[in-house]
Every structure is written in structure tokens, then in C-alpha cells.
Amino acid sequence: MQAFTARMLVMPTDCVGNGVLWVDDGKISEVSSIPTRPLRPSGSAIDFGDALLAPAYIDLHVHGGSGFDVMDDSADALSTIEGSLLQHGVTSYFPTTVTAPMDKTLRALERLADAVDRSRTELHSHDSSARALPLGIHLEGPFISRVRRGVHPVEHLLAPRLETFERFWQASRGHIRLMTVAPELDGAAELIAVASRRGVCVSLGHSDADFETTERGIAAGARHATHTCNAMRPLEHRNPGILGAVLTDTRLSADIIADGVHLNPAMVKLIARIKGPDQTVLITDAMAATGMPDGRYHLGSLEVEVKDGRCMAGDRLAGSVLTMDAAVRNLSRFADWSLPQAIAAATRNPACVAGLSNRGNLAPGSDADFVVLSRAGEVLRTYIGGQQCWPKG
């Protein structure tokens, strides 16, 4: 058994001062404080001093990073992306597709399913390498609105048909855990119901739906919203639309891109205030350019120009170069939240969305995935299964 001590443990539902995290065989066995649980003889604990120890981050929406896209055929793509995620405290993520020709999407789903299967084997053997682990697939399209498609290629959008979803489901071997759907499309309600029964979290987004249609999608089983405000019908006082439903319906959690580009900081504060500390979820929507210098990159098959933190395909935003640690710090600053509250939006809350009962918290029985943070929220170290995986050595 190994003990880790820090000035504060961020649970994140609670904080423990002068905390001790006990890890046994890759799992958290106990959480205590130094006064209540004396340590074993000197040298038995790793002490992080004045730092904070928090659950590792979970990103539900990742298209790429370090020059690669998750839909790339390259054998190096996922391993490179996963290595870079660790630097920013992310140990679990959902590789996210972008609308593409059917054959390309099916091939990508098969490759991503292989990666998810490998990650599950590593989790059970506690033999994970120095990279974040894909725990499921996020299918973002093709069941989205032509009007609010963003940069998704219009020629590859598809109607939400059960037979089409079944092809995706079989290619992914049941590893689709999150799916973005526009509820106004013909057949969407039936698809939402079927996918929800299979354990998929259906997220409403890329949608021009009115309020009533959105509510029908929620009644069918949708329980989350994709990059709130972006690629959604704007809020109007007499026609609140999908955004009005997302903000007012407590059955939905809502994710946001807190980079100061996709949302004005005042909107981040407004959404966080309305959805609250339990239903606000941080995502990055990171693309291949994340961690790279300005230049031209790709999002799926699209060419994207990246300059000064803005990713543009023509006149439209196309993903982001946001990292999760920066998103946490931004949310804390924009919303006037404490750092522990912002950490919850990157740990406990996405874990709840994805149904990951053993992640997103520092609790006995949970996987010992955690980050060591400075008091300002900068990532100092990242651990998977109680083993330091970043920085190496």
C-alpha cells in the first residue's frame, strides 16, 4: 500500500486538509487526514507539500492533438494524442468523430473500438503505459442539423435512422457511449430512445430545434447538451428554442468550451450559474492543432487555419486548441468559482455524464487516477493507477 500526502485533497465533493490518499493495487483504498490516520515510518509516503491532489480530468470531446486527428489512419495518431493529454491532467477521454463519408466513419469506429478494448485490458491488468485511456467513443454527427452543422460537411449528414445507427453500433462493437443528435430531425426521437436504452448518453446539439421539440427529445431519453450555445439556435425571449430548454430543464447537464473564444466569459458565468456546480461540464473540443504552433491543420477531412487560439474553417469556428487544465482555470476565473468547484466540472460531472462510477472522485474503490496541482491549478504531475505517468522519470 502506498500513501500520498498533500496540503489539500480535492474530492471534489469535499476537501480534506493535510490529506492522505492510500492506494492499493491501482485503487484508492482510503482517504484520511494526517491527524486521524498516522503515517507509517518515514519514507512510506510521497509528500506533495503545498500542492493540491485532485481526481484526474476526464474529457468527453476530443478530436485530436499534437498534429493528429482521432480519425487518422496513422498508427501513431492515438498514442501521440494520448501522451499529450497527460500533460494537462487528462487520463480518460472520449475520442470524438466528425461527420465523414460512411466508409471512413465505419473504419474510424473500428479502430477506436480496438483502442477502447486495449484500454480496458490495461485497466484490469494495471499495466497502462504513459498515455490517457479512451473509455468510449463520442459520435458527433452525422445526425445533426444542416442549419447548425458548424463545419461538419453537409454532403455527409444523414437522417437519424435506426439501421444507420446499427451499422455504427456494430462497427464500434458497442463502444459508442456518447452521441450528439439534433432532436428536430425526422426519426430523432426514436433513435434517442433506442440509443438511450443501450446505455448511450444522447447529447443534444448542432441543432435548430424549438423549445417544444427539444423537450420531446429530452422526454425520449436525451440527458446532456453538446458545447452549449455553439451550433445551437440562439436564445430569443419569445422563442427560447433549444438553448432555452438546455438552460432551464434540470434533466439535462450541459458542457461548455471555456476558452474565451467559443463563449464570452460572461456567458460562461451565466451558464455555470444556471446549470450549477453539479450539471456544468467542461470539454475542450480539442483538434489536431492543440499543442502545436499556429498554422494549417485538419479536423477530420477539413482544413483548418489556426491563429491566436482561433481555429477557423472559412468563417466558422472549427474545434479548439483548449487544454483541460486551462479550461478549469478559466472556469474558476470566468464564473467566480473556487478551484475545487471548477475541478468538479472536469472530473465528477463528466464521469456522471459518461456513467463512470469508478472515476472522477477520490473515494475508496475508485481507480487511483489523480493529478497534482499547484495552488493556481497548474498540472505538476499526473498519475494513473497510483503510478506517475507524467512527467516520466
Grid cell of 217 as nine digits: 427529445
Dump pLDDT digits (tens) for 274-304: 999 999 999 999 999 999 999 999 998 899 9
Plot region of 171 (φ>0 → left; ψ -120 to 50 → alpha; else → beta): alpha
CA distance 302 to 310: 15
pLDDT, position 128: 54
Task: Tell me, yes or no, if the pTM score tops 0.85.
Answer: yes
CATH number corresponding to 56-359:
3.20.20.140
Mean pLDDT in runs of 10 for the chain (393 residues)?
A: 95 90 95 72 78 98 97 93 97 98 97 93 65 96 97 97 98 98 98 98 98 98 98 96 98 98 98 98 98 95 94 95 98 98 98 96 96 98 96 82
Domain coordinates of the chain in residue numbers?
Answer: 56-359
**How many other CB atoms are found less than 10 A from the CB of residue 295?**
11
Grid cell of 257 as nine digits: 468550451
List the catalytic residue out of 285, 325, 367, 369: 285
Dump pLDDT digits (tens) for 69-112: 999 998 899 999 999 999 999 999 999 999 999 999 999 999 99
69 has catalytic annotation: no
> Parallel, antiparallel, or unpaired: how do β-strands 133-134 and 137-140 relate?
unpaired
pLDDT, position 43: 47
CA distance 224 to 205: 9
CA distance 250 to 254: 10
Nearest to 370 by CA among 43, 68, 46: 46
pLDDT, position 300: 86
